Structure 1
Protein backbone atom coordinates (compact mmCIF):
# COMPACT_ATOMS: atom_id res chain seq x y z
CA UNK A 1 0.00 0.00 0.00
CA UNK A 2 1.57 3.34 -1.04
CA UNK A 3 2.51 6.09 1.39
CA UNK A 4 -0.08 8.85 1.50
CA UNK A 5 1.91 11.38 3.53
CA UNK A 6 4.98 11.84 5.73
CA UNK A 7 4.40 14.06 8.75
CA UNK A 8 6.44 15.50 11.65
CA UNK A 9 6.13 13.48 14.88
CA UNK A 10 4.47 16.14 17.01
CA UNK A 11 2.71 15.76 20.36
CA UNK A 12 -0.61 15.53 18.51
CA UNK A 13 0.66 12.47 16.66
CA UNK A 14 2.08 10.71 19.71
CA UNK A 15 -0.60 8.01 19.74
CA UNK A 16 0.23 7.17 16.13
CA UNK A 17 3.91 6.81 16.97
CA UNK A 18 3.17 4.76 20.08
CA UNK A 19 0.96 2.40 18.07
CA UNK A 20 3.55 2.12 15.31
CA UNK A 21 6.38 1.19 17.69
CA UNK A 22 4.17 -1.22 19.62
CA UNK A 23 4.76 -2.57 23.15
CA UNK A 24 8.46 -3.29 22.53
CA UNK A 25 9.23 0.27 21.39
CA UNK A 26 10.55 -0.73 17.96
CA UNK A 27 14.09 -2.11 18.35
CA UNK A 28 14.22 -3.84 21.75
CA UNK A 29 12.60 -1.12 23.90
CA UNK A 30 14.76 1.56 22.29
CA UNK A 31 11.97 4.01 21.43
CA UNK A 32 14.51 5.52 19.04
CA UNK A 33 16.50 7.07 21.88
CA UNK A 34 19.78 5.17 21.52
CA UNK A 35 21.55 8.15 19.96
CA UNK A 36 19.67 10.71 22.08
CA UNK A 37 20.69 9.42 25.52
CA UNK A 38 23.95 8.88 27.35
CA UNK A 39 25.05 5.25 27.28
CA UNK A 40 24.49 4.82 31.04
CA UNK A 41 20.91 6.16 30.94
CA UNK A 42 20.01 4.13 27.87
CA UNK A 43 21.45 0.89 29.25
CA UNK A 44 19.61 1.29 32.56
CA UNK A 45 16.30 1.76 30.75
CA UNK A 46 16.62 -1.21 28.41
CA UNK A 47 17.97 -3.72 30.93
CA UNK A 48 15.59 -3.04 33.82
CA UNK A 49 12.91 -5.55 34.72
CA UNK A 50 9.54 -5.75 33.01
CA UNK A 51 7.12 -3.96 32.92
CA UNK A 52 9.45 -0.97 33.38
CA UNK A 53 11.76 -2.08 30.59
CA UNK A 54 12.22 0.78 28.13
CA UNK A 55 9.82 3.08 29.99
CA UNK A 56 12.44 5.79 30.51
CA UNK A 57 13.24 5.74 26.80
CA UNK A 58 9.58 6.02 25.94
CA UNK A 59 9.13 8.94 28.33
CA UNK A 60 12.20 10.66 26.87
CA UNK A 61 10.77 10.47 23.35
CA UNK A 62 7.38 11.61 24.60
CA UNK A 63 8.96 14.56 26.44
CA UNK A 64 10.60 15.75 23.25
CA UNK A 65 7.26 15.99 21.49
CA UNK A 66 5.62 17.72 24.47
CA UNK A 67 8.48 20.26 24.46
CA UNK A 68 7.56 21.12 20.88
CA UNK A 69 10.53 19.35 19.31
CA UNK A 70 10.20 16.97 16.38
CA UNK A 71 12.29 13.79 16.90
CA UNK A 72 11.46 12.40 13.48
CA UNK A 73 8.85 11.77 10.82
CA UNK A 74 5.96 9.32 10.58
CA UNK A 75 4.84 7.84 7.26
CA UNK A 76 1.15 7.13 6.71
CA UNK A 77 -0.67 4.95 4.23
CA UNK A 78 -4.43 4.52 3.90
CA UNK A 79 -4.51 2.27 6.98
CA UNK A 80 -2.58 4.64 9.26
CA UNK A 81 1.04 5.00 10.46
CA UNK A 82 3.37 2.66 8.58
CA UNK A 83 6.95 3.87 9.05
CA UNK A 84 9.38 6.10 10.95
CA UNK A 85 12.63 7.95 10.36
CA UNK A 86 14.63 9.74 13.07
CA UNK A 87 16.03 13.00 11.65
CA UNK A 88 16.98 16.12 13.60
CA UNK A 89 19.83 18.59 14.14
CA UNK A 90 23.03 16.60 14.75
CA UNK A 91 23.48 18.19 18.17
CA UNK A 92 20.28 16.51 19.38
CA UNK A 93 22.04 13.14 19.25
CA UNK A 94 24.39 13.20 22.25
CA UNK A 95 25.71 9.70 21.50
CA UNK A 96 27.21 10.88 18.19
CA UNK A 97 29.36 13.49 19.93
CA UNK A 98 30.70 10.86 22.36
CA UNK A 99 31.15 8.06 19.83
CA UNK A 100 34.63 6.89 18.91
CA UNK A 101 33.38 5.69 15.51
CA UNK A 102 30.90 8.45 14.61
CA UNK A 103 32.19 11.54 16.43
CA UNK A 104 32.14 14.53 14.00
CA UNK A 105 35.42 16.04 12.89
CA UNK A 106 33.92 19.47 13.53
CA UNK A 107 31.17 19.32 16.19
CA UNK A 108 30.51 23.04 15.72
CA UNK A 109 29.95 22.77 11.95
CA UNK A 110 26.77 24.81 11.42
CA UNK A 111 23.57 23.57 9.84
CA UNK A 112 24.27 19.83 10.00
CA UNK A 113 21.35 17.49 10.55
CA UNK A 114 21.61 13.75 11.16
CA UNK A 115 19.48 10.78 10.15
CA UNK A 116 20.13 7.89 12.52
CA UNK A 117 17.31 5.36 12.26
CA UNK A 118 14.45 3.90 10.23
CA UNK A 119 11.68 1.69 11.59
CA UNK A 120 9.23 -0.27 9.48
CA UNK A 121 6.96 -2.98 10.87
CA UNK A 122 7.97 -6.40 9.45
CA UNK A 123 5.05 -6.62 7.01
CA UNK A 124 5.97 -3.24 5.50
CA UNK A 125 9.60 -4.04 4.71
CA UNK A 126 11.23 -4.61 1.31
CA UNK A 127 8.66 -2.46 -0.49
CA UNK A 128 10.63 0.73 -1.02
CA UNK A 129 9.13 2.54 1.97
CA UNK A 130 12.58 3.23 3.43
CA UNK A 131 13.57 5.15 0.31
CA UNK A 132 10.35 7.16 0.50
CA UNK A 133 11.08 7.98 4.14
CA UNK A 134 14.59 9.05 3.17
CA UNK A 135 13.17 11.40 0.53
CA UNK A 136 10.81 12.82 3.16
CA UNK A 137 13.68 13.33 5.60
CA UNK A 138 15.70 15.21 2.96
CA UNK A 139 12.76 17.49 2.19
CA UNK A 140 12.02 18.10 5.86
CA UNK A 141 15.63 18.90 6.83
CA UNK A 142 15.93 21.29 3.89
CA UNK A 143 12.67 23.02 4.83
CA UNK A 144 13.98 23.47 8.38
CA UNK A 145 17.09 25.26 7.09
CA UNK A 146 19.60 22.42 7.27
CA UNK A 147 22.73 22.91 5.18
CA UNK A 148 23.92 19.29 5.28
CA UNK A 149 22.17 15.98 6.02
CA UNK A 150 24.46 13.31 7.44
CA UNK A 151 23.76 9.59 7.92
CA UNK A 152 25.63 6.48 9.04
CA UNK A 153 24.54 3.61 6.78
CA UNK A 154 25.61 -0.02 6.76
CA UNK A 155 27.47 -1.46 3.78
CA UNK A 156 25.78 -4.73 2.86
CA UNK A 157 27.91 -5.09 -0.30
CA UNK A 158 24.72 -5.28 -2.34
CA UNK A 159 23.32 -8.21 -0.36
CA UNK A 160 20.69 -8.50 2.33
CA UNK A 161 21.14 -8.23 6.07
CA UNK A 162 18.82 -8.68 9.06
CA UNK A 163 16.61 -5.64 9.64
CA UNK A 164 18.04 -5.04 13.11
CA UNK A 165 21.48 -4.58 11.52
CA UNK A 166 20.39 -2.06 8.89
CA UNK A 167 18.27 0.24 11.06
CA UNK A 168 20.42 3.16 9.81
CA UNK A 169 19.80 2.27 6.17
CA UNK A 170 22.21 0.86 3.59
CA UNK A 171 25.05 2.50 1.71
CA UNK A 172 23.34 1.73 -1.61
CA UNK A 173 20.11 3.38 -0.48
CA UNK A 174 21.90 6.63 0.35
CA UNK A 175 24.06 6.49 -2.77
CA UNK A 176 20.92 6.28 -4.92
CA UNK A 177 19.55 9.35 -3.12
CA UNK A 178 22.60 11.40 -4.12
CA UNK A 179 24.63 11.24 -0.89
CA UNK A 180 28.42 11.38 -1.01
CA UNK A 181 30.21 8.66 0.95
CA UNK A 182 33.20 9.78 2.99
CA UNK A 183 35.55 7.89 5.28
CA UNK A 184 35.24 8.75 8.95
CA UNK A 185 38.22 10.62 10.36
CA UNK A 186 38.86 8.25 13.29
CA UNK A 187 37.50 4.87 12.17
CA UNK A 188 36.65 2.67 9.20
CA UNK A 189 32.98 3.71 9.29
CA UNK A 190 31.47 5.39 6.27
CA UNK A 191 29.51 8.60 6.60
CA UNK A 192 26.92 9.61 4.01
CA UNK A 193 26.55 13.37 3.47
CA UNK A 194 24.22 15.37 1.27
CA UNK A 195 24.59 19.11 0.67
CA UNK A 196 21.11 20.62 0.84
CA UNK A 197 20.55 23.49 -1.53
CA UNK A 198 17.85 25.80 -0.26
CA UNK A 199 14.97 26.10 -2.71
Structure 2
Protein backbone atom coordinates (compact mmCIF):
# COMPACT_ATOMS: atom_id res chain seq x y z
CA UNK A 1 0.00 0.00 0.00
CA UNK A 2 2.92 2.31 -0.69
CA UNK A 3 1.93 5.87 -1.51
CA UNK A 4 3.31 9.33 -0.95
CA UNK A 5 1.95 10.75 2.30
CA UNK A 6 0.17 14.08 2.55
CA UNK A 7 2.82 15.02 5.06
CA UNK A 8 5.47 13.66 7.38
CA UNK A 9 5.87 15.26 10.79
CA UNK A 10 7.35 14.25 14.18
CA UNK A 11 8.14 10.82 12.77
CA UNK A 12 4.56 10.14 11.62
CA UNK A 13 3.03 10.00 8.14
CA UNK A 14 -0.50 11.09 7.23
CA UNK A 15 -2.51 9.60 4.36
CA UNK A 16 -6.05 10.14 3.06
CA UNK A 17 -8.52 7.47 4.24
CA UNK A 18 -8.73 5.67 0.90
CA UNK A 19 -10.60 2.42 0.32
CA UNK A 20 -7.29 0.53 0.31
CA UNK A 21 -6.87 1.76 3.90
CA UNK A 22 -10.37 0.86 5.09
CA UNK A 23 -9.07 -1.82 7.47
CA UNK A 24 -7.14 0.97 9.23
CA UNK A 25 -10.25 3.17 9.30
CA UNK A 26 -12.07 0.24 10.93
CA UNK A 27 -9.26 -0.15 13.45
CA UNK A 28 -9.65 3.51 14.43
CA UNK A 29 -13.44 3.84 14.36
CA UNK A 30 -15.08 0.42 14.41
CA UNK A 31 -16.28 -1.64 17.38
CA UNK A 32 -14.68 -4.84 18.65
CA UNK A 33 -18.12 -6.44 18.15
CA UNK A 34 -19.10 -5.82 14.49
CA UNK A 35 -22.82 -5.76 15.36
CA UNK A 36 -22.43 -2.88 17.83
CA UNK A 37 -23.83 0.51 16.85
CA UNK A 38 -20.84 2.69 17.69
CA UNK A 39 -20.38 6.18 16.26
CA UNK A 40 -18.03 5.31 13.33
CA UNK A 41 -17.54 9.12 13.19
CA UNK A 42 -21.00 9.51 11.65
CA UNK A 43 -22.83 11.50 14.33
CA UNK A 44 -21.70 14.82 12.85
CA UNK A 45 -21.51 13.61 9.25
CA UNK A 46 -25.15 12.55 8.87
CA UNK A 47 -28.41 14.29 9.77
CA UNK A 48 -29.59 13.10 13.20
CA UNK A 49 -32.48 11.04 11.79
CA UNK A 50 -30.24 9.19 9.31
CA UNK A 51 -27.62 8.63 11.99
CA UNK A 52 -30.20 7.07 14.33
CA UNK A 53 -31.59 4.79 11.62
CA UNK A 54 -28.19 3.44 10.55
CA UNK A 55 -27.44 0.55 12.92
CA UNK A 56 -24.86 -2.16 13.51
CA UNK A 57 -22.81 -3.34 10.50
CA UNK A 58 -24.62 -0.87 8.22
CA UNK A 59 -22.63 1.91 9.88
CA UNK A 60 -19.31 0.41 8.87
CA UNK A 61 -20.63 -0.31 5.38
CA UNK A 62 -21.60 3.34 5.02
CA UNK A 63 -18.12 4.49 6.03
CA UNK A 64 -16.61 1.99 3.59
CA UNK A 65 -18.71 3.57 0.84
CA UNK A 66 -17.32 6.97 1.82
CA UNK A 67 -13.75 5.72 1.32
CA UNK A 68 -14.67 4.83 -2.29
CA UNK A 69 -15.62 8.42 -3.14
CA UNK A 70 -13.17 10.82 -4.76
CA UNK A 71 -13.22 12.99 -1.62
CA UNK A 72 -12.13 10.76 1.26
CA UNK A 73 -13.86 11.01 4.66
CA UNK A 74 -10.73 11.89 6.60
CA UNK A 75 -7.05 11.24 7.13
CA UNK A 76 -5.05 8.57 8.98
CA UNK A 77 -1.78 8.93 10.86
CA UNK A 78 0.82 6.16 10.84
CA UNK A 79 3.81 5.25 12.94
CA UNK A 80 5.63 3.10 10.41
CA UNK A 81 2.99 0.61 9.23
CA UNK A 82 0.81 1.00 12.33
CA UNK A 83 -2.24 3.26 12.16
CA UNK A 84 -2.28 5.52 15.23
CA UNK A 85 -4.79 8.28 14.51
CA UNK A 86 -7.80 9.57 12.59
CA UNK A 87 -9.16 13.01 11.74
CA UNK A 88 -12.48 13.63 9.99
CA UNK A 89 -12.44 16.44 7.42
CA UNK A 90 -15.00 17.36 4.76
CA UNK A 91 -16.70 20.35 3.12
CA UNK A 92 -18.99 21.97 5.70
CA UNK A 93 -21.69 22.21 3.02
CA UNK A 94 -21.90 18.39 3.03
CA UNK A 95 -22.33 18.14 6.81
CA UNK A 96 -25.08 18.88 9.37
CA UNK A 97 -22.89 21.79 10.50
CA UNK A 98 -24.17 23.56 7.38
CA UNK A 99 -27.60 23.75 9.03
CA UNK A 100 -26.46 24.15 12.65
CA UNK A 101 -28.26 26.72 14.75
CA UNK A 102 -25.52 26.59 17.40
CA UNK A 103 -22.35 26.89 15.31
CA UNK A 104 -22.49 30.05 13.18
CA UNK A 105 -21.41 30.59 9.60
CA UNK A 106 -18.59 33.13 9.56
CA UNK A 107 -18.96 33.95 5.85
CA UNK A 108 -19.92 32.36 2.54
CA UNK A 109 -16.54 30.82 1.67
CA UNK A 110 -16.59 27.08 0.77
CA UNK A 111 -14.99 26.18 4.08
CA UNK A 112 -14.02 22.64 5.11
CA UNK A 113 -14.58 21.35 8.65
CA UNK A 114 -12.37 19.25 10.95
CA UNK A 115 -14.57 17.92 13.74
CA UNK A 116 -13.16 14.66 15.09
CA UNK A 117 -9.57 13.85 16.04
CA UNK A 118 -8.82 10.46 17.56
CA UNK A 119 -5.52 8.98 18.71
CA UNK A 120 -5.27 5.27 19.29
CA UNK A 121 -4.96 4.23 22.95
CA UNK A 122 -1.35 3.57 23.85
CA UNK A 123 -0.11 6.31 21.51
CA UNK A 124 -1.40 9.45 23.24
CA UNK A 125 0.96 12.15 24.44
CA UNK A 126 3.19 11.91 21.36
CA UNK A 127 1.87 14.92 19.43
CA UNK A 128 -0.23 12.83 17.05
CA UNK A 129 -3.25 15.15 17.37
CA UNK A 130 -1.09 17.99 16.04
CA UNK A 131 0.06 15.85 13.11
CA UNK A 132 -3.52 14.80 12.32
CA UNK A 133 -4.75 18.39 12.30
CA UNK A 134 -1.93 19.43 9.96
CA UNK A 135 -2.73 16.45 7.75
CA UNK A 136 -6.42 17.35 7.63
CA UNK A 137 -5.56 20.90 6.56
CA UNK A 138 -3.15 19.55 3.92
CA UNK A 139 -5.85 17.25 2.53
CA UNK A 140 -8.47 20.01 2.43
CA UNK A 141 -6.00 22.31 0.69
CA UNK A 142 -5.19 19.60 -1.87
CA UNK A 143 -8.95 19.33 -2.59
CA UNK A 144 -9.24 23.09 -3.14
CA UNK A 145 -10.48 24.32 0.24
CA UNK A 146 -9.63 28.01 0.76
CA UNK A 147 -10.30 27.84 4.51
CA UNK A 148 -10.49 25.10 7.15
CA UNK A 149 -12.36 25.47 10.42
CA UNK A 150 -12.83 23.44 13.58
CA UNK A 151 -15.16 23.66 16.56
CA UNK A 152 -13.00 22.78 19.59
CA UNK A 153 -13.69 23.36 23.26
CA UNK A 154 -12.35 26.54 24.85
CA UNK A 155 -11.33 24.75 28.02
CA UNK A 156 -8.82 27.39 29.19
CA UNK A 157 -6.37 24.75 30.29
CA UNK A 158 -8.90 22.75 32.30
CA UNK A 159 -8.96 18.98 31.86
CA UNK A 160 -11.38 17.71 29.22
CA UNK A 161 -13.12 14.34 29.55
CA UNK A 162 -11.34 12.02 27.09
CA UNK A 163 -14.62 10.74 25.66
CA UNK A 164 -15.51 14.31 24.64
CA UNK A 165 -12.00 15.44 23.69
CA UNK A 166 -12.46 14.30 20.09
CA UNK A 167 -13.50 17.85 19.08
CA UNK A 168 -10.04 19.12 20.06
CA UNK A 169 -9.09 22.07 22.21
CA UNK A 170 -8.68 25.71 21.30
CA UNK A 171 -4.96 25.47 22.09
CA UNK A 172 -4.49 22.51 19.73
CA UNK A 173 -5.97 24.59 16.91
CA UNK A 174 -4.04 27.73 17.90
CA UNK A 175 -0.81 25.73 17.85
CA UNK A 176 -1.66 24.77 14.26
CA UNK A 177 -2.11 28.40 13.19
CA UNK A 178 -5.89 28.61 13.54
CA UNK A 179 -7.45 31.83 14.85
CA UNK A 180 -10.65 32.47 16.75
CA UNK A 181 -13.35 33.33 14.21
CA UNK A 182 -16.54 33.16 16.29
CA UNK A 183 -18.02 32.00 19.55
CA UNK A 184 -20.86 29.49 19.49
CA UNK A 185 -23.89 28.39 21.50
CA UNK A 186 -22.54 24.82 21.53
CA UNK A 187 -20.82 23.09 24.44
CA UNK A 188 -18.94 19.83 24.92
CA UNK A 189 -18.10 18.25 28.27
CA UNK A 190 -19.28 21.43 29.98
CA UNK A 191 -16.97 23.72 28.01
CA UNK A 192 -18.00 26.29 25.39
CA UNK A 193 -17.05 25.54 21.80
CA UNK A 194 -15.55 28.11 19.45
CA UNK A 195 -15.05 28.38 15.70
CA UNK A 196 -11.33 28.33 14.84
CA UNK A 197 -10.20 29.09 11.29
CA UNK A 198 -7.11 28.86 9.14
CA UNK A 199 -6.60 29.82 5.52
CA UNK A 200 -4.92 27.13 3.45
Aligned length: 183
Report the equivalent of 1:101: 102
The answer to whether the aligner puts 1:37 opposite 2:46 as a matched pair is yes
SS in 2 for 1:100: coil
SS in 2 for 1:139: helix
In structure 2, C-alpha distance between the alignment counterparts of 1:127 and 1:13, rounded to whole Å: 23
Report the equivalent of 1:48: none
More strand, by proportion: 2
Shift of the alpha carbon at 1:83? 0.3
SS in 2 for 1:167: helix
Question: Counterparts in 2 of 1:168-179, with a 5 A limit?
Answer: 168-179=167-178
Q: CA RMSD in A?
A: 2.2
Question: Counterparts in 2 of 1:1-199, with a 5 A limit?
Answer: 3-23=11-31, 29-45=38-54, 53-93=55-95, 95-106=96-107, 109-184=108-183, 189-196=193-200
**Cα deviation 1:81-127 (Å, max 9, x = unaligned):** 1100001111221x212322124255xx2331110101112212222
In structure 1, C-alpha distance between the alignment counterparts of 2:50 and 2:75, rounded to whole Å: 24
In structure 1, C-alpha distance between the alignment counterparts of 2:167 and 2:51, rounded to whole Å: 18
In structure 2, C-alpha distance between the alignment counterparts of 1:90 and 1:118, rounded to whole Å: 16
Unmatched 5+ stretches in structure 1: 46-52
Unmatched 5+ stretches in structure 2: 1-9, 187-191
Residues 101 and 184 in structure 1, CA contact (< 8 A), matched pair in contact too: no
